[in-house]
Amino acid sequence: MKPLPIAALLALFLSPTTGHSTRKSLRFGPRPITRFVTQPHSTSAAASAHPFDVARAFLHSYIDSEYFIRNDSYTDGNTGITHVYVRQLINGFEVADGNINLNVRDGQILSFGDSFFRGSPQSISSRPMMSHASYCGGLAHVSEAAAQTNTQVTFSDKTRARDEAYMRVCAQPLAAVKAAIARDSCSTCDELRRAALYFMIAAHPDELVVDALANEFEAVRHGIHVTHELDQDLRASFLVSGLPGALSPVKARVVYLQIPTESGNTKLHATWRLEIEMADNWYEAYMSVNEPSVIVSVIDWAADSPTPRLDGHLNALEAKIGMGPPGAHSKTGSYKVWKWGINDPESGERTVESRLYDRLASPFGWHTVSRGNNPEGSPKWVASDTYLNFTTTWGNNVFAQENWEGGQNWIGNRRPEGGKSLNFEFEYGVKDGIEKDPKEYADLSVTQLFYTTNMFHDLFYRYGFDEIAGNFQQDNYGRGGRDHDAIIANVQDGSYYNTASFMTPPDGQNPRCRLYIWNTATPYRDGSLDSGSVIHELSHGLSARLVGGPSNSGCLGWGESGGLGEGWGDFLALIIRSTSQEANADELTIGSWITNSTNGFNHSPYSTNATVNPSTYETLNEVEFRNLHGVGEVWAEILWVVLQEMIKVHGRSPTLFPPQQLEDGTTPIGDFYRPSQPRKPLVPKHGNTLMVQLVVSSMKLVPCRPSIFDSRDAIIEADRVLTGGENLCLLWKAFSSRGLGRDAKLHGGGPWDMGKHTNGYQIPEECA
């Protein structure tokens, strides 16, 4: 191919590109040895001792390595547990996957997760034993291996999809990197610029752009600039600007990564840790310092729904959010929507809903942003003082709008206007079999997404996904955590068809939620109107911020851990739907309306009936389930079975929403909570509400990159610290009924091999 001049290369990034209907996504890496310990033996301290002092005393006796306590550690107001996040230091550098998370209450270490490197500080590998090439070599020898790439496809297209997936994430990127190496005239200089450019050559989805970057390697490298800075955690780091394909300057620093050796041991390897925001990906990538062309590990903070195959085009989406002080009150609105719990237009009628927002979660309503925190170029506002009250779908928790062009300029896009009365009532007018352009009802769609996202925010705030835990708010009202991360939610996004995605950067950066049109029926269907799918996507944000702490978005990146994120998303959508709408339903699916298919995204409906859904832990051995969404289906099915057992014993609440706080700041018990006890957290009394609390709390307890076993144990541990363990036997019996008993086993497992799963049905002796 003839090299392109730089001007032509720039034009490639400024013009729309045609390509695949599915995102290209790289995600692989070594999983360090990790363990989750419940009820550890530790020295008791006074109940009044500061949790950090308790943590330091434990660490002093437990490890020899240097470390620091991350500043996103926090105390959970719902449970009283302090979650302390510890990062390992060796030779003055962070071990990026060397984490300990300690769960502390009343002077005791309740449980902890540990992935610290245990070798000698001199055990440094000069060459990366794990790489993009070795990952692809493993894929080539594993049946149905392309499913592990997270390129989403329908099962009827497996063979073609497998071949195409391998080409997109392995063959083409590796060939392009090899071509770039041949044109790299300086093998020892500018390692960071070279590392960033090599990663973009491997990761960019457009083949023309990739070829241009590889052929013009030296010219492009000279156009990239590096500056030094201290990041928001006061760590020495770098900013890389001018990297083609990146929407914002790349954040970079040197860290160690744990990698396996051929002898089965573990060594450290020095890497450049890069945060690269792209149009359809947000990567946490690790490039070898010694060999900057080698990707050692990569996590994509974006998560997708499974999608059929259709042609689409790739475009950029960017967010530049201002900073400033807190905000104030906004009046309530009224919204004509499919109310909370109604899954889709075929499941119920629209009604006008008002007086919705939770006074604790959204104290100033859904339509107010403080002046200092309001993004530049925002819609017009009503008040002109410190508190900006908006009359459109713009507020502290979410900015919702259409994005028909699939482009970067979301701030100026169309939003429905509710007027000073905040009246959002718009016509739908869709009839089966009659074509209708979704743009004609875009105001309704944006309203629906705005409503669903705010309801999700307010509900899970009350279960512990609040500011200090890393939730999504433009203004945190001085209640902890980092501001400036309301959700950017796009309706009818024009960059793809037949999918949905959610990108979750660390706390203090705006996530992106994108919903698309589905051409699976006539007329086409709008993904924002399928609340189960929307809640699934929003749940990716919840789990990404809770597992491993608010500032670590890389804990659910791939493998079994990534599958847990998918499963939690399905389960939370199911429990919301079954509680609010279909109290007796035991056969539910995710995505059946938007896909226009009986089972939606699922192999079988979620059901306690083993004839309808026979999934057990061993189901993960089946080819169809050896991928992120397959793992998620099995995990969600097991949780669904556990939920029904909890409901049998504790009953079902007609709502998942706790009572509104009173003016004095107290929470009424009502029929929602058990009678309160001094110095004890409030405990939901019904099976469904208690299960939501246990699942949310368990996400905070598990280690980074958890396994299914870790997540099972964390739910049991959450019950122990919340109820004293009164549901111990119920939970073990329910888990074991689907093969997840104490003697269940996983043999093997790695970045490209999910191992062999063996059912176990053993329960504790006291439960026999």
User: String of b and e for 308-326 (b: at least 16 CB within 10 Å)?
Assistant: bbbebebbbbbbebeebeb
Residue 10 has pLDDT above 60, yes or no: no
Q: Please write the tens of the pLDDT for every residue from 467-502.
A: 999 999 999 999 999 999 999 999 999 998 999 999
User: In the structure encoding, which two tokens stand for residue 278, read together?
Assistant: 């792209």
User: In the structure encoding, which two tokens stand for residue 550, read together?
Assistant: 């608010």
User: In the structure encoding, which two tokens stand for residue 704, read together?
Assistant: 């980074």
Report the chain's mean pLDDT, rounded to a whole number: 88
Residues in the chain: 768
Cα–Cα distance for residue pair 447/449, rounded to 1 Å: 6
662 vs 37, 78, 201, 465, 667, CA distance in Å?
A: 39, 17, 56, 20, 6
Model pLDDT, residue 579: 84
Q: Please write the tens of the pLDDT for every residue from 669-683.
A: 989 999 988 888 899
Q: Residue for token digits 């705030």?
A: 461
* 162-186 average pLDDT score: 87
Contacts of 5 (CB under 8 A, 6+ apart): none
pLDDT level of residue 408 (50, 70, 90 thresholds): confident
Instruction: Check if 537 is active-site.
Output: yes
Model pLDDT, residue 145: 42
pLDDT level of residue 375 (50, 70, 90 thresholds): very high
Q: Residue for token digits 């329960």?
A: 763
Tell whether omega for the bond before 506 is within 30 degrees of 0, i.e. cis: no
Model pLDDT, residue 663: 85
Is the pLDDT higher at 190 or at 413?
413
Is the pLDDT higher at 174 or at 579?
174
In 250-311 the beta strands, taken as DSSP E runs, fall at 250-260, 266-277, 282-288, 295-300, 302-304
Model pLDDT, residue 407: 84
| Cβ atoms 82, 76 nearer than 8 A | yes
Of the ranges 336-340, 599-603, 661-665, the best mean pLDDT one: 336-340
Model pLDDT, residue 142: 54
Cα–Cα distance for residue pair 488/412, rounded to 1 Å: 12
Q: What is the pTM of this model?
A: 0.91
CA 680, 682, 686 angle in degrees (round to 5)?
135
Is the pLDDT higher at 427 or at 308?
427
Residue 331 has pLDDT above 90, yes or no: no
Residue 313 has pLDDT above 60, yes or no: no
The reply to whether CATH 3.40.50.10440 applies to domain 334-554 is no
User: In the structure encoding, which two tokens stand for residue 334, read together?
Assistant: 């009224």
Cα–Cα distance for residue pair 533/323, rounded to 1 Å: 31
Least confident of 39-53, 175-189, 650-664: 39-53
Our CA dihedral for 42, 44, 47, 53, rounded to 10 degrees, sits at -70
Percent of the chain whose predicted confidence (pLDDT) is above 70:
88
Residue 21 has pLDDT above 60, yes or no: no
Q: Please write the tens of the pLDDT for every residue from 511-561.
A: 999 999 999 999 999 999 999 999 999 999 999 999 999 999 999 998 899
Q: Please write the tens of the pLDDT for every residue from 125-164.
A: 878 888 898 888 877 655 444 444 444 433 344 555 567 7
Residue 86 has pLDDT above 70, yes or no: yes
Q: Please write the tens of the pLDDT for every residue from 280-292.
A: 999 999 999 999 9
Model pLDDT, residue 463: 98
Least confident of 196-210, 329-343, 410-424, 530-544: 329-343
pLDDT level of residue 69 (50, 70, 90 thresholds): very high
Residue 170 has pLDDT above 70, yes or no: yes
| Cβ atoms 69, 78 nearer than 8 A | no
Rounded-to-5 percentages of helix, strand, coil across the chain? 30, 20, 50
Q: Please write the tens of the pLDDT for every residue from 218-256.
A: 999 999 999 998 876 667 899 999 999 999 999 999 999
User: In the structure encoding, which two tokens stand for residue 476, read together?
Assistant: 């945190």
Is the pLDDT higher at 162 or at 326?
162
Model pLDDT, residue 46: 75
Model pLDDT, residue 161: 54
Which of 144, 191, 216, 537 is flagged as catalytic? 537
Q: Which CATH number fits domain 592-767: 1.20.840.10, 1.10.390.10, 3.40.50.300, 1.10.3720.10?
A: 1.10.390.10
Among 52, 99, 110, residue whose Cα is nearest residue 718: 110
Model pLDDT, residue 4: 42
Cα–Cα distance for residue pair 327/476, rounded to 1 Å: 9
Model pLDDT, residue 758: 97
Residue 361 has pLDDT above 80, yes or no: yes
Least confident of 205-209, 234-238, 547-551, 761-765: 234-238
Of the ranges 8-17, 128-137, 445-454, the best mean pLDDT one: 445-454
